[in-house]
Amino acid sequence: MGRFSNVLQKLWFYSYNIFDILYKLWFYCFDRIILYPMVRCLTPTIDMQFMNLGYWPNETTTNLDKKMIEVVNKYSTLSDSNRSLLKERLNISNIDSNRPHYYLYEKPLSMHPQYSSLNNLSILEVGCGHGNGIKWIRRSHPEISSIKGLDICAKPNQYIVQGDAHDLPFSNNLFDISQFYSNLLKYDSNNNYYLVLNVESSHLYSDCSIFFKECSRVLKQGGYLCWIDLRYNIQMSDVYRQAEKAELRREYCYDVTDNVIQGIQRTSARYDEILKKLPLLMRILSSSFRSTYCAPGTKSYGRLLKREKSYYAVLWKNMKMCQTTKKNNA
């Protein structure tokens, strides 16, 4: 009887692991083959501009988030004409704006030491998707010099370069932060300063240690990586170790899981309404769509509630000395 019980336990263990691998593989393929192309094609119709979970300030973080709340309040208000147009297209009575998504972008930026004044700053976003985060930053921070995005699935345009986060197509030490370091760091040829922004993207990378090394390579000494993403709790020690090996020093780290859950409650309600308006073929895949944006009731949402996974915002400072070897620019 004991031997039979051991056999059953092993069968359950292997079956569970095989199922888990297939489950992750399905969503890996679903995101790239179905979701991303669909969002690109239907964005003008369904107004599904972002593929991140969202963030919402709460009573605990109100003081910490005060500056970014002011920024979002100032630049995210929908005009009456746009609100009416969305209602007419989608027949949704209660339109929720993209504020939770805007907050998710502002949160890592707000950790930057000069967040209140980003004058003459040029930003590189790694993992920019279809570029709607770039559009938001251009609107909310008109004082910046420029912004460019990179994504392996993106359609290139004047603001976006198609490329791999494991092999950034930029020269060594090209990016740093802002004029705060102008007396310490060498200017690049255009007198521009850069930081690297990474929003809910790195959990999809096959080897995050390479990504951190690439960030360290392209950042100037003293440059910043503003990062926000989700991980299984047991994975965060590896994330910190990988960043440390890349000579990125952790300046700030916040567990923002509660804020992201509140953001999900707002974004998922809107996307659930949008799903009802999609063609039948897409509605058949609604459970996969809902798992992707962690709608309440899904397994992915449950992992956050149970704290099997958590969401973190981290600011790293590049401590690596400048290198002389260079890679051709994109």
Q: List the domain boundaries for the chain.
A: 10-45, 50-77+95-179+191-318
In this structure, which CATH number among 3.10.105.10, 3.30.70.20, 3.40.50.920, 3.40.50.150 belongs to the domain 50-77+95-179+191-318?
Answer: 3.40.50.150
| Per-residue pLDDT tens listing for the chain (330 residues) | 556 565 555 565 555 456 556 655 655 565 656 666 665 565 555 566 777 899 999 999 999 999 999 999 988 865 444 445 444 444 444 444 689 999 999 999 999 998 988 877 778 899 988 888 999 999 999 888 888 898 887 788 888 888 888 887 766 655 443 333 332 232 343 333 368 999 999 988 889 999 999 999 888 788 899 999 999 999 999 999 999 999 999 999 999 999 999 999 999 988 888 888 777 777 777 787 788 888 999 999 999 999 999 999 999 999 987 654 445 555
Q: What is the pLDDT of residue 36?
A: 61
Is 96 exposed, middle or buried (CB count within 10 Å of its CB: 0-12, 13-18, 19+)? Answer: middle
Q: What is the pLDDT of residue 310?
A: 96
Is 203 exposed, middle or buried (CB count within 10 Å of its CB: 0-12, 13-18, 19+)? Answer: middle
d(CA 31, CA 213): 26
Q: What does the block give as tokens for 312?
A: 């973190």
Q: What is the pLDDT of residue 94?
A: 41
Helix axes 36-46, 80-90, angle to 10 degrees: 110
Q: What is the pLDDT of residue 21?
A: 61
Q: What does the block give as tokens for 89?
A: 């297209």
Q: What is the pLDDT of residue 307?
A: 94
